[in-house]
């Protein structure tokens, strides 16, 4: 027999605590983190972080992998990441209390890692550029799409001549929580992020999931008629 419906309260209880929500958002960078690093992100003690992480593991939102004497924590699946991004799009912004928080928010809005692909205004700008170029159709939230071709100056500049092999969709729309419009996810979205990091158009920041557009990235994007100045600060 099938249940009458899904039990949203299990997930609701798991994330309805500021520290756990902060740790989930930190793991949206697609990497694995120690409990200590997640404790710092949530501004709680390591012992408290361990207790919160047990809740997230029990709710199947987070996986834990022992590496020697350490335990590394990461989001359970791309579906968990997509759910967090969708919830972020309908959630109110957190109040900004310091100049540092304001700067972090601005950086996240401009360019950030959205689990396996690029998010923020840069992601939306590049998505629009590929749509205009006939590479993909306008992405829709949660819908899978098709890559029509890969012959495009942006993809050529990044060395993307084929899609990465994988079981995920070639293209998926992911609702950007700061821009309120879908950006490009799926294997093509992952390929863009991977190539831009590898060629140092973008660099990671150490303590959050914001990305820095480098001088090289700014110059190459401008050469491709994608002026960085048009990307919201």
The boundaries of the domain holding residue 56 are: 8-76
- Is there a single domain that holds both residue 132 and residue 212? yes
pLDDT at residue 96 is higher than 70:
no
CATH of the domain at 45: 1.10.10.10
- Is there a single domain that holds both residue 104 and residue 49? no
* 110: its two tokens: 């401009």
Q: By C-alpha distance, which of 133, 127, 168, 164 is closest to 151?
A: 133
State pLDDT tens for residues 103-122: 566 888 899 999 999 999 99
Would 220 be classed as within a structural domain? yes
The total number of structural domains in the chain stands at: 2
User: What pLDDT does 143 receive?
Assistant: 85
Q: Which band of pLDDT confidence, cut at 50, 70 and 90, is reported for residue 134?
A: very high
- Is there a single domain that holds both residue 175 and residue 217? yes
Q: Which band of pLDDT confidence, cut at 50, 70 and 90, is reported for residue 41?
A: very high
- Is there a single domain that holds both residue 20 and residue 57? yes
- Is there a single domain that holds both residue 63 and residue 140? no
Would 169 be classed as within a structural domain? yes
Phi, psi of 142 (to 5 degrees): 75, -5
Would 93 be classed as within a structural domain? no
- Is there a single domain that holds both residue 111 and residue 155? yes
Q: What is the DSSP string of 189-210?
A: HHHHHHHHHHTTSEEE-SSSSB
User: What pLDDT does 233 receive?
Assistant: 47
Q: Are 73 and 27 in contact (CB under 8 A)?
A: yes
Of the three residues 39, 61, 76, the one that is the final residue of a domain is 76
- Is there a single domain that holds both residue 140 and residue 69? no
Lowest mean pLDDT among 5-9, 20-24, 183-187, 194-198: 5-9
What is the average per-residue pLDDT within 130-141? 93
- Is there a single domain that holds both residue 186 and residue 112? yes
- Is there a single domain that holds both residue 163 and residue 63? no
User: What pLDDT does 113 receive?
Assistant: 94
Q: Are 146 and 136 in contact (CB under 8 A)?
A: yes
Question: Which pTM does this prediction carry?
Answer: 0.82
Strand order in the sheet with 62-67: 33-34, 70-75, 62-67
State pLDDT tens for residues 155-186: 999 999 999 887 789 999 998 988 889 999 99
* 137: its two tokens: 């159709």
- Is there a single domain that holds both residue 115 and residue 225? yes
- Is there a single domain that holds both residue 71 and residue 112? no
Q: What are 144's strand-pairing partners?
A: 172
Of the three residues 76, 110, 133, the one that is the final residue of a domain is 76
- Is there a single domain that holds both residue 60 and residue 104? no
Would 3 be classed as within a structural domain? no
CA atoms 161, 166, 172, 176: torsion sign:
negative
User: What pLDDT does 6 receive?
Assistant: 81
């Amino acid at each position: 027999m099938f249940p009458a419906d899904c039990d949203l309260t299990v997930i609701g209880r798991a994330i309805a605590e500021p520290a756990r929500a902060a740790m989930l958002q930190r793991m949206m960078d697609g990497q694995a983190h120690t409990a200590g690093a997640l404790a710092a992100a949530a501004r709680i003690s390591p012992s408290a972080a361990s207790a919160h992480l047990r809740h997230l593991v029990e709710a199947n939102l987070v996986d834990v992998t022992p590496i020697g004497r350490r335990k590394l924590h990461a989001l359970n699946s791309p579906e968990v990441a997509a759910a967090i991004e969708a919830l972020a799009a309908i959630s109110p912004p957190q109040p900004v209390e310091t100049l540092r928080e304001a700067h972090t928010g601005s950086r996240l809005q401009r360019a950030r890692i959205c689990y396996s692909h690029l998010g923020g205004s840069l992601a939306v700008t590049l998505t629009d550029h590929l749509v205009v170029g006939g590479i993909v159709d306008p992405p829709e939230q949660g819908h899978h799409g098709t890559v029509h071709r890969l012959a495009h100056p942006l993809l050529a500049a990044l060395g993307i001549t084929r899609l990465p092999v994988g079981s995920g969709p070639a293209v998926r729309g992911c609702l950007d929580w700061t821009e309120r419009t879908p950006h490009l996810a799926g294997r093509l979205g992952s390929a863009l992020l991977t190539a831009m990091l590898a060629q140092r158009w973008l660099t990671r920041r150490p303590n959050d999931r914001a990305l820095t557009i480098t001088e090289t990235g700014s110059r190459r994007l401008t050469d491709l008629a994608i002026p960085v100045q048009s990307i919201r600060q």
